[in-house]
Amino acid sequence: MKPITMEEYMEYYLRKNFELESKNASEEALKKWRDAVWLVKNPRRRFRMVADLNKRAEADRKRQDIQEKIRIALYVQKAALQFIDAVSIKSDYKLSDKVREAGFGIEPEELQSINRSRNLNTLDAHGGVKGFAVKLKVSLNDGVLSKNVPVIQDIYGYNRVKEKPMKPFWMFVWEALQDMTLIILMVCAVASVGVGIATEGWPKGMYDGLGIILCIFLVVMVTAISDYKQSLQFKDLDREKKNIMVQVSRDGSRQKVSIYDIVVGDVVHLSIGDLVPADGIFISGYSLTVDESSLSGESEPVNVDAEKPFLLSGTKVKDGSGKMLVTSVGMMTEWGRLMLTLSEGGDDETPLQVKLNGVATIIGKIGLAFAVLTFLVMTARFIIVKAVYHEITKWSIADALTLLNFFAIAVTILVVAVPEGLPLAVTLSLAFAMKKLMNDRALVRHLSACETMGSASCICTDKTGTLTTNHMVVTKIWICDEAKEIGNEENGGKALKSSLSENVLSTLMHSVFHNTNAEVVKDKNGKINIMGSPTESALLEFALVFQGDYMTQCKKAKIVKVEPFNSIKKKMSVVVALPGGGHQAFCKGASEIILEMCDKIVSRNGESVPLSEEQRKSITNVINGFASEALRTLCLAFRDIGTSNSYAENIPEDSYTLIAVVGIKDPVRPGVRESVETCLHAGIKVRMVTGDNIHTAKAIARECGILTDDGIAIEGSNFRDKSAQELEDILPKLQVMARSLPLDKHNLVKLLRNEYQEVVAVTGDGTNDAPALHEADIGLAMGIAGTEVAKENSDIVVMDDNFKTIVTVAKWGRSVYINIQKFVQFQLTVNVVALMTNFVSACVSGSAPLTAVQLLWVNMIMDTLGALALATEPPTDELMQRPPVGRNVHFITKIMWRNIIGQSIYQLILLGILKFNGKRLFKLHGGDSLSVLDTLIFNTFVFCQVFNEINSRDMEKINVFRGMFDSWVFMLVMVSTVAFQIIIVEYLGTFADTVPLSKELWLASIMMGAVSLPFGAVLKLIPVSPDEHPQHDGYEQLPSGPDLA
């Protein structure tokens, strides 16, 4: 069906040429809209926040070249080292005076060379990692001394990579001056000054041209200041994005420091999902594997151990854990060289930016047609008048000045007509929202996410840490056929200790202290802290209550193999060499998984006895009972291995002895239930996806208000086994998925997006959550519990891991979308009125009532100042009473068209009456009556825009003043606009072609403009049929009540 109305044509044109996915947009789509953009006044400014595809392609080529060189170098080194038996340090190797005086024994270039070449023989010649530690004056246990950090940084450098320097302010001024129409106007202004002085003399002849130049200067300065401030905001956010916290040993204690503060000699602790913060040498660890694809392009993980000890900056820990000694930082690393190319090309543009580029293109085409027609009509009338008076052959400099003025007016109409500010308003609004969200503990990594979050119709959230506090405490334990409450830590510990035999207690304590990746450390003040995950911390806190030397004994034992916890196996295992010979394996993890591995149980005297089926059922009931009380349950088990090497490849997974079932309380965060209710009111469905026991998940989900009586809760294994038809039946009511694997979360997100057209936000904290975070419309990584891999694949980092923050992001996302719609409505109204007024007046009277200077001022009101006022309005709670904006809805809605057309008609009629009947209505006489009338028209037109800007604050509600005085930016823009309008009319008439107005005419101008308010209120009473689209348009009110869930 061919488009008929303007609205339908616009939507058809935008869908055809300016449609873009919010994430992972194809190269073809990015090129398509660029080719469709037409009549761009200032490409450098308009496309400043748009990806440069040519630079990006060039950066990709550079990166691939560097990766290829690194890969070839690694292969050559591996081959060469097979033929080199030993290397000694060169006899002529000398230290520089600076290094020697500081007391160090190795040059930074030598460290860089060894790590880059991965030369084990050279490393051994320096005494291995211990030799490096001696030469760097650090302890492999205690780490760097804080007092030595400045000296180390002075010699070995800072852990920062070179960044492109920020553009100075004058560059933004220069970019604003690249506007094609402003350049033409400046040429016209200079010509006008020359011709004016020749005809009218000095200084009168220069006023018209000088007025245009001064107005251009004002427009350029306001634009440059606005752009410069935005650039500063993005720079701060970009710096925050790259600031990663790293665990190091310093001054004898384990602590977190910024990646920027890492120095050569630091002992860094690495675990699954961490980013390697600098080049370094492996000290110790277990099953450490690293993904080097970011550097070498090789997807195969690399094992790191004493025989392959080299770690490279920018790589990611795939599995295991370990410690490394930092040997090179910043630009001395391979990653530093590579990072120089990574920032080239910029981020992808957002869907709203692209859509508004389309709107600007359409309006620009119409504006160009009107500008050309206006010039032709005024020129034709001028020539016809000359012909009528038989002066067609007589041409003077004054006639040339008149034609030049016609051309300047036509160009200025084009300045106003091409809404260059539309796409830039999106950037302004997003920059403002991102800054505010940073204060609200959400770091937006990709601009489009802030925008897309306003359309989210479903949130798939984790349980632990997001809905709960992530501060875990052991509150119950089942051991020796008896469930016990652990109340007050000290009293609970004493009661438990007195009820258990020494053998049982010893086994329990060894299973906790041996099988953990957490660490008990002392801070600078001597206070004991536990560094590790909340679950591990809870178990260690519980174990530390028992007085004894269990931890000391465990430290003496040698751990020979570790299989760290991951979200697929849902367990952690270790093998320990016993002092008296033989080995013992300890295992802990998801209760039902560990219970399935056990065929024995610890008796009251500490011996292993067979586990009967009756006991197994009884323990299962205990686990379910704990889980129903919203406790996270873990089973602890052990197995004697003897002297066999059966653990060499994998730690055994059967024949274990069950020690205990532990119940850990993780309270629901305050305010989560209210936040979930807010989501339901806002039409956002909340689904919990967790790795926990289904009974625990259901109990927490009910407490949060997620699981309702008719809702469905299933386990990941059941979800995987469902057919497509069965999934179609359960998905609409699916509210909880427990014991899920990362793949389950990924598949759920794909189903919801592709089959149900939902806009899905998903939370994740683990390395294995990366595919789901990448697949979702909005990936939300946890700032505290999240790994660096998860954060890197996310769009927004929730800094406090709080579900309430996610709801705040959704509110701001909606605010961005609505604010841009308000601005578009306001700007299109100004466009229509300015174009039609000048065109009709030119056709009828042969002159335009609004001069070039006046139109430039109007352009600034509607462009930069209008964007500042409307695009930065803070969100209101009412935004969360509406449904989300669905996929593929009309951006310019019928409600907006009603307001645009209604206000345009009022303003055109008003200005038409003033133009053709104003002298009679206001009894204007005398030689300056025409100047007074034109000034009155200009003044009335500006006040119509001022009051229409207030009108645009709410596109539906009659009360547009609500919250207006709380928005200081809006009030500042309003006051500044009115103040400057008074100055232009009363004091700058020489340049702006205005004359001072009487109090009566000022009052009349303001009153006629103010009529826009009641007129707008009447317009909003006119019913509008909803857009014919299956999705919500963002304005229809949602039902409320108990049926919401």
Cβ contacts of 98-103, under 8 Å, gap ≥ 24: 98/155, 99/155, 102/151, 102/154, 102/155, 103/137
Residue 980 sits at the vertex; the CA angle it makes with 975 and 983, to the nearest 5 degrees, is: 135
Burial 39-78 (b: 16+ CB within 10 A, else e): bbbbeebbbbbbbeeeebeebeeebeebbeebeeebeeee
Catalytic status, residue 462: yes
Three-state secondary structure call for residue 669: coil
Q: Which helix (H) or strand (E) holds 341?
A: helix 334-342
Q: Which of 274, 462, 777, 801 is catalytic?
A: 462
Q: Write out the E strands in 650-782.
A: 656-665, 685-689, 712-715, 734-738, 760-764, 778-782
Facing residues of 664 across strands? 474, 632
Q: Alpha-carbon dihedral of residues 49, 55, 56, 59, nearest 10 degrees?
A: -140
Q: Which residues pair with 778 in a beta bridge?
A: 761
362-379 burial string, b = 16+ CB within 10 Å, else e? bbbeebbebbebbbebbb
Give buried/exposed letters for 527-552 (b at 16+ CB in 10 A, else e).
eeebbbbbbbbbbbbbbbbbeeebbe
Distance CA 396, CA 537 (A): 91
Handedness of CA 48, 51, 53, 58 (dihedral sign): positive
Q: Determine which helix (DSSP H) or strand (DSSP E) holds 282, and give its type and residue range.
A: strand 279-291
| Amino acid present at 325 | L
DSSP bridge partners of 602: 608
411 contacts 181 by C-beta, under 8 angstroms = yes
What is the separation of C-alpha 95 from the centre of its chain, rounded to a whole number of angstroms? 47
Among the listed residues 5, 2, 27, the one whose alpha carbon sits nearest the alpha carbon of residue 16 = 2
Nearest Cα to Cα of residue 983 among 853, 833, 883: 853
- For the record, the structure tokens of 422 come out as 């539309």
**On the CB side of 212, how many CA atoms lie within 13 Å of its CA?**
26
Phi, psi of 1022, deg, nearest 5:
-75, 120
What gap in Å lies between CA 736 and CA 744, rounded to an integer? 12
- Could you please report the per-residue DSSP string of 605-625? TS-EEE--HHHHHHHHHHHHH
Going from the C-alpha of 367 to that of each of 118, 668, 674, the distances in angstroms are 64, 57, 49
**Tokens (6 digits) for 802:** 């709080």
For residues 610 and 973, give the distance between their C-alpha atoms in angstroms, rounded to a whole number.
80
Instruction: Please name the residue ranges forming H helices in 180-333.
Output: 180-200, 207-242, 293-296
Asked whether 592 and 658 are in contact (CB, 8 A), the reply is no
**Which stretch of DSSP H or E encloses residue 444?**
strand 442-444
CB hemisphere CA count around 154 (13 angstroms): 10
Cβ-contact 417, 361 below 8 angstroms: no
| Structural tokens at position 400 | 């040339």
- Catalytic residue numbers, as ranges: 462
